[in-house]
Structure 1
């Protein structure tokens, strides 16, 4: 079981959350958790990219080399 958190949502977002939950027969908690998972995933991906971009010791490779490494 998770922790209980309390916070305020703007009316517009609260309304969309309620409407979506009812329409899909899912809980509002489901959508809040999914939204936060997506946000944090994107945030940490961005932070890692930013940190690597700012790291002068990190190897820089050209797009063609990246494609070759990925087998594309």
Structure 2
């Protein structure tokens, strides 16, 4: 269970959206959290990869190189 306090303006916007669409405020809060959580997970994964590349533990490849490895080069 999660309880959050929202600023009055955000609460009002959420209430309006819920009324206009026939969905609950909980539905939209859950959707927003899930989407943001996915974005954060992607961000942190990308940051870890960048650190591994910068430290030499991992290498990157350009599009031309990847296409050539996969036999997709023109």
TM-score norm. by structure 1 comes to: 0.81
- Give the aligned partner of residue 62 of structure 2: 62
Q: Is 2:29 the counterpart of 1:28? A: no
Q: Give the structure, 1 or 2, with the largest relative contact order (CA under 8 Å, sep 6 or more).
A: 1
Q: Is 2:73 the counterpart of 1:43? A: no
Over the residues paired in the alignment, what is the CA RMSD in angstroms?
A: 1.5
The count of corresponding residues between Structure 1 and Structure 2 is 66
Cα distance between partner residues in 2 of 1:64 and 1:11: 51
Asked which structure has the greater CA Rg, the reply is 2
Cα distance between partner residues in 2 of 1:7 and 1:23: 22
Cα distance between partner residues in 2 of 1:35 and 1:11: 17
- Alignment gaps of 5+ in structure 2: none
